[in-house]
Structure 1
Amino acid sequence: MRILPPAVATAVHVATLARKAGMPIPPKVYAVLEAAANPWPAEWLLAPLPGDPIRVVELFAGPGGWSEGIAVVLGVKIDAVGVDISPDACATARAAGHRRICADITTLDPEHIALRYTGAVIISPPCPTFSPAGKLSGLDAQNIAILCEAVGYVSEAAGTMPIADIGCEDLYPDEDECPMCAEYGYHDGFRERSGITWDEVRAQAAGVTDPRIALMLEVVIWPLALQAAGAPIRWMAMEQSSNLPDDILDDLAMEFYSSDWKYADREVREAADYGLPSRRKRVYMIASRWYGTTTATARIRPLPTTSMAQALGWEPGERVNTRGTRPIDPKTGRAKGGNCFSADGPSWCLTGKSRTWKRESDGLRLTEAEAGLLVGFRRSYPWQGSRTSAFQQAADVVSPIMAAIVLSGMFGALGEALVRDYLAQLYHMDDMLSPDDYDLVS
């Protein structure tokens, strides 16, 4: 763990005494903390007191999907700060009451002294390179190979690989006699840090054809860097396109396991299977340094279906036009390009182009608030920026409902009951509260 400069250590001591006494931190002391912690909260330099909520870093945090899922759906209080590069997404999150740092994540230090008490990391790397809505460059074999090779450098850079992983203890009971340990510098059960910096690790993936592919490295860089810095990191959660190749997922999981994490697994979930009135298939990965904290999400089975019409208060039979007037295919009698769908089921997956969607019966366009409602946000959520920006935010965001489902086990929350209650209030569907015909798992 990095050592605090003397002036900062003194400020931390004084501020801690003040906080324990229930008094405000002196302004001059706070100024020292603020400068040292920048861009993170000044208070994060202080050790948590008993009863303080867990500190969570949200990366690629967007307009607040994970934040809303934790705070509003699960009702869990955490001490979280999100980072995102989009000014509009940050403005939306701030307007909703969530803290944001507007910055390029790769320019921040994952071992910053203000992060030394971080307990969890949530990461949602951008998915256009893997999603069918993008150009799918992330599925190119050469890009996958470059990324996976770079992933393999992370535990070496962090120095988090236990000596037992080498298997030398069977051949060399005295580890001092093991030539590999002698060559690579293992000690105290862990390999020494290789000396490669995090920027140099990222540079290993510079050969990919789209720089957004390389952002998948942050999924392991931040948790393992915090572990290396001595932070009490407990778990990590990730969301990404369901098209993310198994090769990448396997290598990410292997990097956690090789760093002595106890659990690392993933599951593909379709949002419409959990009461959302729009389709959105994503892969979620959970990694934990402790046993027994990740199984609760498996107990949340699919929930009753919510149609787009039900969610928006439309009459049955409505259809949605997504692409304007299209030529008619004489063989099928339907518009070419598939430009319409029925609102009597979950809507198609939202994209930034969903701003063009309109109701066929009267030409009424979908609003920003309705787009947010379709992905699980309350109608009054304060979307910021232009209409185009707001729709892109709603398209990219993690649904609060899915965030709550995925993280319920990490917080020991009664996920299914809370999700049902939230869905019932959001979409005015009382049947969500009546699971008599639903096989609940105790």
Structure 2
Amino acid sequence: MSALTAAEEQILCTALDYEYNDQPVPAELMAELDRIAAPWPGRWLLPSKPGAPKRVIELCAGPGGWAEGLKTVLGLNAYDVVGVDMSADACATAIAAGHVRICADVTQLDPEHPALRETVGVIISPPCPSFSTAGKRAGLLRSNIAILRDAIAAVGEAGGFLRLDEICCAEVFPDLEDDCPLCADLGHHEGYAPRNGQTWAEVRAMLDGLTDPRIGLMLEVALWPLALQAAGAPIEWMVMEQSNNLPEEILEDISVEFGAADWYRATWAILESADLGVASRRKRAFMIASRYAWVTLEPPKEPLPTTTMAEALGWDAGERMNTRGQRPVDPATGRAKGGNTFSADKPSWCLTGKTRTWVRERDGLRLTPAQAGTLVSFRASYPWQGSRSSQFQQAGDVVCPVVAAYVLGILHGMNWEQRVRDYLTGLYHYDDLWPDDHQPEGYDLTA
């Protein structure tokens, strides 16, 4: 567990004196707090004031899908969200859109940092290529799954959440001199074993044998919320997004760790973005864990009306998209081998970084990054940053804001449907949203 030095404690006490006297903390003192709290904001070292937004951390945060779902779609401003991501371009996009970002590797950060002691929620979207059919699927190898599961199972013991309900004290405390009266009476001791002394760095080191380090980011789904709980933070909930190919046994293991730490409910579901009115298909696994509420996550009972690619982009009916150039024709079907075209009169195929090469068959028109963002339910003016290739990769990797709103709306017991419908209506039904000749300046369209 991280701790402040005596000198840092003195700086914090000086800042608290200003707070208690209802005076603003001087800029130079706040700069010192920023240094102490780094990479987290210095303001998070100070206790929250009554009515202030609650603190949430977003890990593997990307360009802002969850944040847009929370703030723009649902209109929830009750949270002070700080996101972390390794991609400089994704961080730049999120910052340009007004979201807070720290450009860092989440596996190198301490979840028990003193600046995080008032965190109430964790949002995390580990990269999915290790499990997705679009990647090499190393996450599906049994050897890698076994390594990941062992590390997940170590989280509870490292955090002090090994339940003793069915374990005799002598098994955990072999040096116990006197017999435990509870064990003598019940045959077991109630409560938890103490933390086993294993650091979070040591738990993460259990993943060293993975053939793809990205697989290990699934460990962080359990590690961060439970480490925050172990440090005394008032953690209330966690939400996660991952490839729909994620093995269910991993989800079950994570759920077991939350249950052992007395979280009230962990649940997951496979959600399809087109069922929520998004103009492109994207099937992903989502998980919610809550300490104080019974939450059930499942696909909507009545899917929202379908939005086609053509409708979203203001195109006429009958357009087709070519995704892979001129492919050899299969004489048996008369169609290109590999399935390289689809109708824009349906939701778009799932976007990836290679969507930058898609062309409209009629005239060779290529999508712009803004159009790609709109297809995954971002507002047309969203400020994508980086090269054209990077912007399309961000749109291909991101959590759709509408789907994020659905998940967070369920978590918070909100009437998500009316807010999602209002947002989609404004997003997709302006006739002049995308003029046919619209192309942004400054892009190399061959990239």
TM-score under structure 2 length normalisation: 0.89
Find the aligned partners of 1:429 and 1:219 in 2 and give their Cα distance.
39
Structure 1 residue identity aligned to 2:200: W
SS at match of 1:126: coil
| Cα pair 2:279 2:306 within 8 Å, conserved | yes
Structure 2 residue aligned with 1:332: 333
Query: 3-state DSSP class of the match of 1:129?
Result: coil
**Do the aligned partners of residues 240 and 214 (structure 1) sit closer, same or farther apart at CA in structure 2, a change above 3 Å counting?**
same
Asked if 1:241 is matched to 2:243, the reply is: yes
Q: CA separation in 1, counterparts of 2:237 and 2:136?
A: 32
Q: Which residue type is aligned with residue 195 of structure 1? A: G
Match of 2:228 among 226, 239, 252: 226
Q: Between 9-18 and 413-422, report the one with greater CA deviation.
A: 9-18
Counterpart in 1 of 2:213? 211
User: Equivalents in 2 of 1:180, 1:33: separation in Å?
Assistant: 50
| Offset, 1:17 | 4.3
- CA contact 1:168–1:178 (8 Å) conserved in 2: no
Say whether residues 1:283 and 2:285 are aligned partners: yes
User: Which residue in the other structure is 2:272 paired with?
Assistant: 270
| Cross-structure match for 1:434 | none
**SS of residue paired to 1:285:** strand
Q: Deviations over 1:198-244 (max 9, x none)?
A: 11111212212111111110001101110111000000000000000
Q: 8 Å contact 1:65–1:399 — kept in the other structure?
A: yes
CA contact (8 A) 1:297 1:409 kept: no
Residue 20 of structure 1, CA deviation: 5.2
Alignment partner, residue 200 of structure 1: 202
Task: Report if aligned partners of 1:165, 1:258 keep a CA contact under 8 Å in 2.
Answer: no
String of CA shifts for 1:310-354, please: whole Å, max 9, x gaps: 000000000000011111111110011111000000010001100
Distance 1:428 1:167 in 2: 64
**Percent identity between the two aligned chains:** 59
Partner of 1:141: 142
Inter-CA distance 166–375: structure 2 relative to 1 (3 Å threshold):
farther
Task: Name the CA distance, whole Å, in 1 between partners of 2:299 and 2:250.
Answer: 23
- State the AA in 1 paired with 2:130: T
The amino acid across from 1:9 in the alignment is E
Contact 1:238–1:285 (CA under 8 A) maintained in structure 2: yes
The one-letter code sitting in structure 1 at the alignment partner of 2:119 is T
Tell me what 1:341 maps to: 342
What is residue 318 of structure 2 aligned with on the other side? Answer: 317
Q: Output the amino acid matched with 2:15.
A: A
Q: What code does the residue aligned with 1:11 have?
A: I
1:57 is paired with a residue whose SS is strand
Deviates more, 1:141-150 or 1:277-286: 141-150
Deviations 1:121-148 (A, max 9, x none): 0010000011010111111112111111
Per-residue deviation, residues 22-58 of structure 1 (Å, max 9, x unmatched): 4320234223311211110000001111111111100
Structure 1: unaligned runs, 5 residues or longer: 431-442
After TM superposition, the score normalised by the length of structure 1 is 0.90
Once superposed, what is the RMSD of the aligned Cα atoms?
2.3
Alignment match, 1:174: 181
Whether the aligned pair in 2 keeps the contact of 1:11 and 1:30 (CA below 8 Å) is: no
Structure 2 residue matching 1:250: 3-state secondary structure? helix
One-letter amino acid of the structure 2 residue matched with residue 74 of structure 1: L
Give a deviation string over 1:366-396, Cα, whole Å, max 9, x none: 1100000000101110100001100000000
Q: Per-residue deviation at 1:296? A: 7.9
Secondary structure of 1:267 counterpart: strand
CA displacement, residues 43-85 of structure 1 (integer Å, 9 cap, x when unaligned): 0001111111111100000000001100100111110110000
After TM superposition, the structure 1 = structure 2 runs for residues 118-157 of structure 1, keeping only pairs within 5 Å, are 118-157=119-158
Mark the CA change 1:166 to 1:395 in structure 2 (over 3 Å): closer, same or farther.
farther
Q: One-letter code of the match for 2:212?
A: D
Q: Which runs of 5+ in 2 are unaligned?
A: 171-178, 432-447
Paired amino acid for 1:204:
M
Equivalent pair of 2:271/2:298 in contact (CA under 8 Å): no
Partners of 2:249 and 2:413 in 1: CA distance? 31
Distance 1:178 1:37, change over 3 A: farther
In structure 2, the partner of 1:256 is 258
More moved, 172-181 vs 340-349: 172-181
Deviation at 1:257, TM superposition (A): 0.6
**Equivalent position SS for 2:195:** coil
Residue 73 of structure 2 corresponds to 73
CA distance in 2, matches of 1:178, 1:358: 74
CA distance in 1 between counterparts of 2:8 and 2:414 reads 37
What is residue 18 of structure 2 aligned with on the other side? 18
Aligned-partner SS, 1:152? helix
Whether 1:362 and 2:366 are equivalent positions in the alignment is: no
Look up the SS of the partner of 1:305 in the other structure: coil
Distance in 2, matches of 1:389 and 1:179, equals: 61
Rounded Cα–Cα distance in structure 1 between residues aligned with 2:430 and 2:306? 10
1:165-206 residue CA offsets vs partner (Å, 9 max, x unmatched): 64889xx9823659998xxxx8x8221111111111112122
Q: Distance in 2 between matches of 1:175 and 1:197?
A: 30
User: Counterpart of 2:63?
Assistant: 63
The amino acid of 1:38's aligned partner reads: A
1:410 aligns with 2:411: yes
Query: Contact between 2:168 and 2:187, CA under 8 Å: does it hold in 1?
Result: no
